[in-house]
Amino acid sequence: MTKLFLNSICVCIILLSLWGTGCVKVEYGQSPEEAVASSEDKARVLRASWAQELKEATPVESINLLVNQFNIAGNHLFQIGDEIIKRWHEGEVGRQNIISDSEMRKFVESWLLAQKPIFLAYEDNLEFGIELLKKNSFLQASQLDELDKLLESYYDNYSLIVYPQGTSVEYTNKIEQVKFEFRGKLEKFKSEIPQN
């Protein structure tokens, strides 16, 4: 008993001495509040850099920047969708049972809490870019309508991705379908805009 007690004290002393010299490093994850604050900082940078890019751009460059912003925002959204698919599948394999869409919605709501400021920044950037083009662009009315439809499509995809419906297989198929459709719409718009 005494030997065990002495060994325990020796181990504690060694660990304390290593900790004091910096050989043992303990890292902690961010708290939910810290994660949200970090995302808010990133969102501010996204908005500021976007406003600066548009300020310095010619009308044609502004159109291309907006198309690129749609692409970035869409890819961010689809990466989240792919991660939800992965976690849903892994959860069902681990449980060896189906996970309901309502349970996944609760998980996603909690998991994406810190991401909300980033999503809002992308939405603000897209809306701001469209409004700016409506004021300053030589785009035709039909092309401006297409931008509004792209924005509506982005919002629809957001709802579909962050509020899962159906089974994991149905959700996976739907995400693949909207990815294909959204990217197709974006490419079609890009091919129709003036390049000089």
Cβ neighbours of 150 (radius 10 Å): 21
The pLDDT tens digits of the residues spanning 130-178 come to 998 888 767 888 889 999 999 999 999 999 999 999 999 999 999 999 9
- pLDDT of residue 2 exceeding 80, the answer is no
The pLDDT tens digits of the residues spanning 6-57 come to 444 333 333 333 333 333 333 346 676 777 778 888 989 989 999 999 889 9
Look at residue 174 in the predicted model and tell me its pLDDT: 97
Look at residue 195 in the predicted model and tell me its pLDDT: 67
The pLDDT tens digits of the residues spanning 102-112 come to 999 999 998 89
What DSSP line would sit under 31-50, residue for residue? PHHHHHHHHHHHHHHHHHHH
Model-wide pTM > 0.85: no
Look at residue 5 in the predicted model and tell me its pLDDT: 39
98, 92 in Cβ contact below 8 A? yes
Q: How far apart are CA 194 and CA 67, in angstroms?
A: 12
Rounded to 5 degrees, what angle do the CA atoms 61, 62, 66 make?
Answer: 115
Look at residue 36 in the predicted model and tell me its pLDDT: 75
What DSSP line would sit under 118-156, residue for residue? HHHHHHHHHHHHHHHHHHH----HHHHHHHHHHHHHHHH
The whole-number average pLDDT for the span 74-85 is 96
